[in-house]
Amino acid sequence: MTAIMHHTLYDGRRIAFRLTPGAGPCLVFLPGYMSDMSGGKATALFAEAEARGRACLLLDYSGCGQSGGDFAEGMLSKWRDEVLALVESYVAGPVLLVGSSMGGWLMLLVAEHLKHRLAGLVGIAPAPDFTRWGYSEAQRAALAAGETIYEDNPYGPEPTPTHPGFFADAECHLRLDGAIGIACPVRLLHGKQDADVPWEISLRLKDALASAEVQVTLVEDGDHRLSRPGDIDRLKAIVAEFYG
């Protein structure tokens, strides 16, 4: 895999990324909440791109992985702008956005700014609006009051924090209750045994999108991560559809 590089934004944020050149569209992978570009799906897609001579961009949001910054200051707006800055600086031509979990929400926000360059979207257990349906009213009230909340983390020893700044910003980016003016081809992949993001969210997203070409694939025994070998093969096959 290619070496990690860093891009410095106007305010000094240093964003870590990996880029392999090749034929387009360039696949841009957007990790989930508190995840980074070292995850299994990201690295599998990057390796596949390298092997097949396709362009691919991975990145760590500020405060995550090998990027600079404090996670407590992270928010969708900042991370969207980081993705757009990297695309503008390093990617020529069409873009294929692949978003996992929260990355599936961020994918929509990025796509709204790249409409003329979109080859397609691939959402893996996409989680748009999770600050609405994913938290209790008590949790939402605490966040709105400026408190940080913590939840059990099934993927690591430390609890998962949600900071009030992230919550306040996210409230400005809710998408599921209105029309989403994205018309490119969209593929959504979701496990029916997902304990974190209900698979019905992908159906709501399908209905909200303006695209006439949205396909939802439900994996009967699939969990949230969808990172088993068979899940990865299915994801690769979906991505391959965009390369003819």
Which residues are catalytic, by number?
101, 194, 224
What b/e sequence results for 202-215 when a residue is b if at least 16 CB atoms lie within 10 Å of its CB, and e otherwise? bebbeebbebeebe
Q: What CA–CA distances, in Å, run from 100 to 11, 19, 29, 97?
A: 27, 19, 8, 10
Task: Assess contact for 220 and 194: CB atoms under 8 A.
Answer: no
Task: Assess contact for 42 and 34: CB atoms under 8 A.
Answer: no
Torsion sign over Cα 134, 138, 142, 148: negative
The SS3 of residue 162 is strand
Task: Assess contact for 30 and 52: CB atoms under 8 A.
Answer: no
The HSE-up count of residue 81 (CA atoms within 13 Å, CB side) is 11
Which residue shows structure tokens 């996670």? 71
Which amino acid is it at 44?
A
CA–CA separation, 86 and 30 (whole Å): 12
